[in-house]
Structure 1
Amino acid sequence: MPADAARDHLAALTAAGLRPKQVADLAGISAATVGNITDPTTGRIQAQIERAVLAIEIPSRPGDVAPDNALVPIIGAARRIQALVAYGYPQSHLARELGINPAHTTMAALVGRPNHSSGATGQSITAKRERAIKDLFDRLQLTPGPSNRARDYGRRHGWPLPFEWDEDSIDRPDATPVRARWTAASAQAERRDQVAQLSDRGLPNWQIAFELGITKRTVERIRHAAPVGAPELDWGLDR
């Protein structure tokens, strides 16, 4: 078969954050074969190799498909940890939740501190750890943390809050947060009322998201955290 389709798919997988070795493992082929496909001088490949490569879905999150010990980009994990710190969770608390020594270089990389021996911050993290951080973020993102010091630290560093990131884009290097989405009680109440009104009209979450120019995940967060008729929520933003 012509190698073009497999080569283009490999490029898309690489752009999504998968490394050539991870692609090889997922496809059940050798790393050398992956390298051969990416070589622009390769004209044809075996049909079964093409099928194996094209069968790999392009992931929105490399950590979801990579083996536990595979290295994946750290950017989404770092954003999640930093957002939780800005939301009031001390770094030491988050480290304990993850089973990490607070002084370990992994924690330093997650909050953007350089490695003293090299002067650089880590760019990768194991897929197992990355998934654990996502699980922790999903569990804590709707509950303000207890620490004013952590909130002040996050504010000084300009770290976005959890709900200022869209879950569908937080792992993308080019993603940007929607800042100050909930910093004013009036804005929070207005958005909640909009969601409630559209919900009363029977619109599903995806259509509400389309109408308001937000993501479906954001709509789900609002409906989960603030049922119609609920009192004003204290997000801990002014503490």
Structure 2
Amino acid sequence: MTTTTHAPSRGCYQRGCRRPECAQANYRYMSRLRLEHSRGQRRRTDTTQSRHHIERLMAADWTQAQIARAAGLVHHIISDIRHGKQTISNATAYAILSVPIGPPPANIRDVDATGTTRRLRALVAIGWPIEQLAPQLGIFPTALGNIARGELANVRATTADSVALLYQHLIRESGPSNRARILARKKGWHGPADWDDIDNPNCRPDTSTASTELGFRERAQLRREEIIHLAWHGDTPEQILARLNGEVSISTVRQIVQDWRTGEKRDRKQVAA
């Protein structure tokens, strides 16, 4: 049986995936949650202390964006707390309270995000998903995803440096995720080999060899793995076809799903005969 590679998580389980590793991730989460409840521990806390800390930082000339980046949080979380959000996770509160009171450090400066965005996209294009990159950078996956999608014009200089360093290390080998490669191809993200000057906003990717990076068989295999992953999530062949934007026929989707469910792959020569 053909399988696809994806990072196990409770979130994946909640979206309908029933792979053993995702089910186990959900079981571990719920076990810890029940244990914490039995001990009277809670995962969320009142925002009063965090809001007061944010206001003290802003009085010391910090901006909301600087506080968010220093705490490793998404920008809107700081804004939500200031505008009346009642509770946040303990981890978020700890991250905010860990930012020391005083003027913002000199090294907290913004730089153009072009190179950082391109590097993240290039890593995804060779099989490194955002979910695996984020822990290595000490950045929340959501925040790193915002950068990769090009939603930020500027990033913290230290973030840019960290991504550049990790990029130099990881481009030496392909990543483990075919789904990441599929995502990058669908979004038109370019790999490391396509860039002559990845930090130059005026540089354009070299697409002369893009069509030959993956042959017909490789593209078919990646598409097959994506169909199987969606079937794992409980999507019907019709739903899968819609998510693939009609890239394959409904008969092909149904056949791949049937092959996966039965553990057998049809013999095309025999069918043709």
TM-score by length of 2: 0.38
Larger Rg: 2
Q: Which has the higher contact order (CA 8 A, sep 6+)?
A: 2
Q: Determine which structure has the larger helix proportion and give its number.
A: 2
TM-score by length of 1: 0.43
